[in-house]
A and B are shown apart, each in its own frame.
Chain A
Amino acid sequence: MRRRQIGLGAAKQALLVALSLVVLAPFAIILSNSLKTRVEASRMELMPAAHPVWANYATVVERGKLGLSFLNSVFYTVAATAGTLLVTSMAAYVLSRRQSRLSGFLYAFIVFGIMLPTNFVALIKVMQALHLLNSRWGLVLFYVASNVAFGTFIIHGFVGSVPRAMDESAAIDGAGPLRVFFSVILPLLQPILVTTAVLCGMGIWNDFVNPLYLLNSSSAWPMTLSVYAFFGRFQQEWNLVFADIAMTCLPILAIYLAGQRFIVSGLTAGAVKG
């Protein structure tokens, strides 16, 4: 019995070590090859470079216009996440507090959007008519619109756990609806707002297809599009491609390792209670 348990434990460890290696090996490839010369990198070996070529990173920033697209990505992520939190928390609050047929219908109508795929061709037509195509703010507005369904859904569930007595006591003190919401309710929603921000923010940071359709000018591109364009131009120079990939991954990996608890609990929110 005892021996069998030890054997099982060893098998479990072996499985987990093997899986971890499978996950980590591509990262090792990226890091080691991003520091090699073009010829060395073309062999794509795991071995670290004999003489690290740090200049690859400088080359990539310069030729790949990474600085500008990094700022673009930051702008899209921050602006669209903030916008999503604002409009969805207001909507979820009122739709959860009102218990009428209309509010029930509006909630169902909005949540239905979780299942809706984007009709890109028609979207472009609409964005063009509204002068939102090829515009940074246009993309931000679209991101907010596409996160309305999901954001309202998760925040709605949480609002129910905030007692109504909070709103009413604030109202007795003479506060209007906006005051009540922004100074009393919004601070209480903080945990779910963090969750929503993590979910929306990561989705936007990693998004590729929407800017592919909605932005023409490379000066407005986020990181994902720039990396892809860079790959197209420098396919023969894997050292530069790897340096580019490394620089794209590093910020988000650093954020993950620093704020792992937030991110994991954010992404798994709802899995427990349903």
Chain B
Amino acid sequence: MSRNRLYPYYFVLPALLLYVGLFIVPSVMGAGLSFTDWNRYSPEVHFNGIENFRTIFASSKRYDLYIGNTLLFALVSNLVKLVPALFLALLLNGQVKGRNFYRTILFLPTVLSFLVVGLIFRSVLHPSTGLLNGALRGLGLPFLAGRWLSDPRLVWASIIGVDAWKGLGYVMTIFIAGLQAIPQDYYDAADIDGAGWWRKLGYVTLPMLVPAITINVVFGVTYGLKVFDIIYVLTNGGPGRMTEVINTAVFNEFAAGSYGLGTALSTLLLVAMAAVGFPLLRALTKKQVES
């Protein structure tokens, strides 16, 4: 018992104080303030029940759309990265000439900020002078050239595409690290059993990749639900307000001084993330304890 003298709890105190003070307290306080009319223009804060949530879900302002956009982005942006990244990882984990070079290149966008990536693509996707439309015209496909960031039919595809450009290499790299940890014996055994490429993928590779898949899904979903930078820079919620997500709406409410409404939206995000993320996180911590 006296061993614990070596491990005093005051070691935990700085981390705990900062975490509680600047992370937990704002979340809890924010949850409370989401039931008030807190705003910039009045010094007093009044309890107003579920008024903010009624505004969010049952008013003509389309907050429900923004929430739907957030969920859709979290789902689609991950699907379009996970599946191609898996196949790229398999490709670059095999015998391919120049594989280290390709790994380096494909990972490159990961180290840039979303803000810079967004600005770069504001130029690339420019309807009249941008690189993409220029290339399409040059290839004799002018009918494919589009107004990528202002046409309502194209704008989500553009955002998801830019996000994949930036994020694919990271997901792929995690998969490669996972693949490298699979013992070659397993594949040899599968070869002896006469398993083909797809069977080996289904019965050896995928089950052994579960930790890497878990990591990618946890990071991908938390990122997707919290998304702000890339949308703020690319479209700022436009055209109209059709690409608005929860965190851009929070920013708008904050700028407009409607603090109660802003914090109510953040609280909804918290609930969504806890609901989606808690099981994922438990899977992750369990794995770590086992290993």
Contact = CB atoms under 8 A, between A and B. Distances in A.
Given A94-B9, A94-B11, A111-B285, A252 B112 contact: yes
Given A115-B281, A148-B19, A256-B108, A177 B5 contact: yes
Contacts of B192: none
Interface stretch (A49-57, A61-69, A188-196, A263-271): A263-271
Interface residues of A, number: 102
Interface string B1-19: 0011111110110111011
Interface class of chain A by DSSP: helix
A78 interface: no
A116 B180 contact: no
B119 interface: yes
A121 B266 contact: yes
Contacts of A70: none
A146 B170 contact: no
A145 B21 contact: yes
B8 A126 contact: no
B64 interface: no
Contact of A245 (B24, B120, B232): B120
A233 interface: no
Most-contacted residue by chain A among B5, B108, B262 (CB, 10 A)? B108
Interface in A61-84: none
B165 A23 contact: yes
A260 B129 CA distance: 34
Given A26-B121, A98-B7, A256-B111, A121 B259 contact: yes
A273 to B, nearest CB: 5
Contacts of B5: 177
B217 to A, nearest CB: 12
Contacts of A42: 129
Interface residues of B, number: 102
A125 B29 contact: yes
Contacts of A146: 22-23
B230 to A, nearest CB: 10
Nearest to B259: A121
A77 B241 CA distance: 34
B11 A116 contact: no
B30 interface: yes
Contact of B214 (A108, A181, A212, A274): A274
Nearest to B258: A121
Contacts of B91: 12, 15-16
B116 A245 contact: yes
A9 B11 CA distance: 56
A249 B9 contact: no
B69 interface: no
Interface in B211-253: 211-212, 214-216, 218, 222, 225-226, 228-229, 232-233, 247, 250-251, 253
A206 B170 CA distance: 15
Most-contacted residue by chain A among B98, B113, B287 (CB, 10 A)? B113
B139 interface: no
Given A44-B131, A245-B116, A117 B225 contact: yes
A15 B96 CA distance: 12
Interface string A111-148: 11111111111111111001000000000011011101
B74 interface: no
Contacts of B97: 13
Most-contacted residue by chain B among A91, A115, A241, A257 (CB, 10 A)? A115
A105 B170 CA distance: 32
B18 A144 contact: yes
B284 interface: yes
Interface in A216-274: 224, 227-228, 231, 238, 241-242, 245, 248-249, 252-253, 255-257, 260, 263-265, 267-268, 270-274
B65 to A, nearest CB: 19
A88 to B, nearest CB: 6
B107 interface: yes
A126 B281 contact: no
Nearest to A97: B7
B23 A114 contact: no
A241 B119 CA distance: 9
Most-contacted residue by chain A among B5, B6, B131 (CB, 10 A)? B6
B126 interface: yes
Given A119-B263, A167-B6, A205 B113 contact: yes
16 contacts: A16-B98, A20-B102, A90-B15, A94-B12, A97-B7, A98-B4, A114-B222, A116-B24, A117-B270, A122-B30, A157-B291, A202-B111, A242-B123, A267-B170, A273-B181, A274-B291
Interface of B: 3-9, 11-12, 14-16, 18-19, 21-27, 29-31, 33, 88, 91-92, 96-98, 102, 104-116, 119-121, 123-124, 126, 129-131, 134, 165, 169-170, 173-178, 180-181, 210-212, 214-216, 218, 222, 225-226, 228-229, 232-233, 247, 250-251, 253-254, 259, 262-263, 266-267, 269-270, 273-274, 277-278, 281, 284-285, 287-288, 291
